Chain A
């Protein structure tokens, strides 16, 4: 099915910080929205519809679509809330894209935000899961990811030091990003010296808890000339959600699918087919990946087709994913440096757009033509988008 061509024409983000007690949720949202509208060079009244998302359980305040309308700019406009767990921000981006690609709206604002400082993140995450079969024994994302890390190491021989490389890389990249939360020029030994949270995952391997917001303006092809920024064109999107219970991903890896991460692999296969990518390391110039913890930076490279299964450690240690490599990963510092969860997936899309537009400042990768952005969350859900500098000939829905 054909889809309308859509460009990203403005982005706004707050500085990502451990705690923003100086603002309420709506004030935080408004900071990002004002920045995005200013960046796009348009007024609130020109926005046709708003898509917004976060996860209510992190703040304990429901219905952001309702109470944020003053700050989000949605007052008197069509507004839709989207919440899909960790992928919320990338789903919000895809939802805004669908609004415009459908031909029903020309200028749509996507907003993702979170104030993770307002609750115990792990406790809140647990409430997203089944009260009979998951909650009694589930310990949230950290322990769930630790099970994945153990399995990955036992099957490939990857080491904790390999994972620490990712933590070092992304937080070093964050030094170039004035909006990033955790920035550090650490060494692998520094990460290895941090305490275990849930063996084999250490404090230094995990993303932080962050307060922050992000907003992105999507434009139809017809309206794109109204905006001063060059558009970052959406070349394609894909997503997969395969599991119900927290133990299901391990079943799929070991029994059902026999692959590492079927949701990401199937989304990737569809996305690359739509966009015409056969050699991602060669064709994709930069990737903003939702890496919730360090080991993901090894394994996801395999599921995204950048290397063979088990080849993640060798690929990243070759330096090809560092700034200056063939496909730098997370020039922004990524999720390992900032994780305001509802904003996180949208920040990947915003950062990919800035790279494609050549507006990423000190974190700019030279000559970006194609950028990959991903979202990860829920029960191993995978959202993926490719943005490009050139207008795509045709976009497949």
Chain B
């Protein structure tokens, strides 16, 4: 006996992946952990210096790509710096770390910390793009004591110094 042909559009079936979670456990490594414990316990930044070109990277990485050199020298880096470039994020999207919509709007910037040669992408406390400009000085604002967990989010945002 013949069966009918494929269903019309209104009957297409779509399934959701549902509320299932498949957790992962990622290792920061001994150097990455050092960076994160310094923020958690001391509210300070540390970087790592390339033995060949002398550049200081924040956050941690173990190999200077251009020099292909292993890095081991940890150095202090300021919690202040300047904005290199910025945006104000206003579109909704799912934060895969939480599974929830990220609250918007928020200021977002590439930050050049004093003493570092790389940049950190982080939040800034301004949502009017007319009130931010490249070169603005910023300072890290940390989560309160007891609330820091050893994450980049232990830095709540960078405050523009006016």
Contact = CB atoms under 8 A, between A and B. Distances in A.
Interface in B106-160: 108-110, 117-123, 129, 133-134, 151-153
A256 B95 contact: no
B65 A199 contact: no
Interface stretch (A73-81, A124-132, A336-344): A124-132
Contacts of B134: 150-151, 154
Interface residues of B, number: 46
Interface residues of A, number: 47
B55 to A, nearest CB: 8
Contacts of A135: 96-97
Contacts, number: 126
A150 B14 contact: no
Nearest to A153: B85
Interface string A248-263: 1011001110000000
Contacts of A146: 87, 89, 108
B162 interface: no
A133 B90 contact: no
Interface stretch (A37-45, A137-145, A354-362): A137-145
Contacts of B121: 134, 137-138, 147, 246-247
B88 interface: yes
Contacts of A147: 85-87, 108-110, 121
Contact of A133 (B6, B55, B59, B96): B59
A139 B93 contact: yes
Given A21-B12, A154-B134, A251-B119, A137 B108 contact: yes
A304 B38 CA distance: 43
A22 B102 CA distance: 31
Interface string A189-211: 00000011111110000000000
A246 B26 CA distance: 19
A251 B64 CA distance: 13
Contact of A196 (B32, B88, B109): B88
21 contacts: A21-B14, A120-B93, A123-B95, A124-B96, A127-B96, A135-B97, A136-B152, A136-B153, A143-B87, A147-B85, A147-B87, A147-B121, A150-B86, A154-B134, A198-B87, A199-B87, A199-B88, A200-B129, A247-B110, A254-B84, A255-B118
Interface of B: 6, 9, 12, 14, 17, 24, 26, 28, 32, 36, 55, 59-61, 65-66, 84-91, 93-97, 102, 108-110, 117-123, 129, 133-134, 151-153
Interface of A: 21-22, 60, 120, 122-124, 126-127, 131-140, 142-143, 146-151, 154, 195-201, 242-248, 250-251, 254-256
